[in-house]
């Protein structure tokens, strides 16, 4: 059974930093691209960042480019999202999502339960 467990969320002040983690199990982690997708309060799903199975290529939405960095440790079956210079508008539930392949094109086979990040003073 595929399991994706996010951690590291919480309350942070504007301009602060936070690192999210996603512990994966139940599948061959290195064979799957991974992404972070978020949902702001009252809004829809927004893709944030993606990384290929091997970790060699990363992609970020324009809204987070230069502030967020996605990475992975395939030896630990863990996905990360380093979030710097956080803004109030980054407040959202952040989901870890498993891609159906190591690289594009892929849909999201499985999702974690999500972790709340609140940016507020």
By the criterion CB under 8 A, which residues form the site for other proteins? Answer: 4, 35, 37, 44-47, 50, 95, 97, 100, 104-114
Phi, psi of 32 (to 5 degrees): -125, 130
Residue 9 CB contacts under 8 Å (≥ 6 apart), including other chains: 18, 20, 94, 115, 116, 117
Identify how many contiguous H helices and E strands the chain contains and give both numbers. Answer: 0, 11
Least distance (Å) from other proteins to the CB of residue 111?
4
CB closer to other proteins out of 8 and 47? 47
CB closer to other proteins out of 43 and 121? 43
Beta bridge partners of 25: 3
Least distance (Å) from other proteins to the CB of residue 28?
17
Cα distance between residue 94 and residue 39, in whole Å: 7
CB closer to other proteins out of 12 and 97? 97
Least distance (Å) from other proteins to the CB of residue 24?
13
CB closer to other proteins out of 36 and 80? 36
């Amino acid at each position: 059974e595929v399991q994706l467990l996010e951690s590291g969320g919480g309350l942070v002040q504007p301009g602060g930093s936070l690192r999210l983690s996603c512990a994966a199990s139940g599948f061959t982690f290195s064979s799957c691209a991974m992404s972070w997708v978020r949902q702001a309060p009252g809004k829809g799903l927004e893709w944030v960042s993606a990384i290929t199975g091997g970790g060699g290529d990363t992609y970020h939405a324009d809204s987070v480019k230069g502030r967020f960095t996605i990475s992975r440790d395939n030896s630990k079956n863990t996905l990360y999202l380093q979030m710097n210079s956080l803004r109030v508008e980054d407040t959202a539930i952040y989901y870890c999502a498993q891609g159906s392949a190591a690289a594009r094109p892929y849909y999201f086979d499985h999702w974690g339960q999500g972790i709340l990040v609140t940016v507020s003073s």
